[in-house]
Amino acid sequence: MKNDINEDYDIYVARRKQLVAELKEMKITNPEVLNAIENTPRHLFIDQSLLAFAYENKAYQIGCGQTISQPYTVALQTQLLEPRAGEKVLEIGTGSGYQSAILAEMGMNLFSVERQYTLYSIAKTRLNDLGYNNVHCYFSDGFTGLPEIAPFDKIIVTAGSASLPQALMHQLKIGGIMVIPMGQQQNMYIYKIKRISMADFRSEKIENCAFVPMISGVESQPL
């Protein structure tokens, strides 16, 4: 864990342990994912009015029409990604920065894209203050990805897309994995996509989910 800057440190450590126990019962089995959840101070990624609920397995609003996903969803997407320390990972949708922190705890070299300037700015400062120096934040269109940095070992998308974004597919290494929510708002599923060759991809439908929609373009930067 990086700098857990809160006077109620012991209380939050205990609550994280309880959350990890709950996630184990929900079939999160990867020990590195569970360790990252236990070591990441989620209470520093939500509104201070919600501190008492920081380690509930629930999603919360973070502004700009976006949410911080429930811990189970974060853990599931991370587990499906099969992350290994040192891998180059693209994250689409920085949001609060919590998913970014989980991947950083696991030793990823993370490149995270956010289209909402307010969220981008807050998350970048927060992650830097917490010492996550292996997270590189970008204010950009998630549908575009980061072609100048590609290819990536893994890609994780934290907003729901109606279909598989072609630009992101081509930024994934052969043998790489993409985890992405896809479908319509009332019929959305998490998919695990593996790139088999230059032209071939294998898709696995995992489970029903709910995410805010993935939107093209960026919100204008404040003057």
Give the chain's radius of gyration (CA, Å).
16
Residues 49-56, mean pLDDT to the nearest whole number: 94
* Chain segment 84-124, per-residue pLDDT in tens: 999 999 999 999 999 999 999 999 999 999 999 999 999 99
pTM of the model: 0.94
- For residue 48, the 8-state DSSP code is G
Q: What is the pLDDT of residue 1?
A: 52
* Chain segment 194-214, per-residue pLDDT in tens: 999 999 999 999 999 999 999
Of the residues 49, 69, 121, 163, only one is catalytic, namely 69
Q: What is the pLDDT of residue 223?
A: 47
What dihedral angle (degrees, nearest 10) is formed by the CA atoms of 50, 115, 216, 157? -60
* Chain segment 147-199, per-residue pLDDT in tens: 999 999 999 999 999 999 999 999 999 999 999 999 988 899 999 999 999 99
- Sequence letter at residue 220: S
Q: Helix H segments across the chain?
A: 9-25, 31-39, 71-81, 98-105, 117-129, 166-169
Half-sphere exposure of 141 (CA within 13 A, CB side): 10
Q: What is the pLDDT of residue 10?
A: 84
Annotated active-site residue 197? The verdict is no
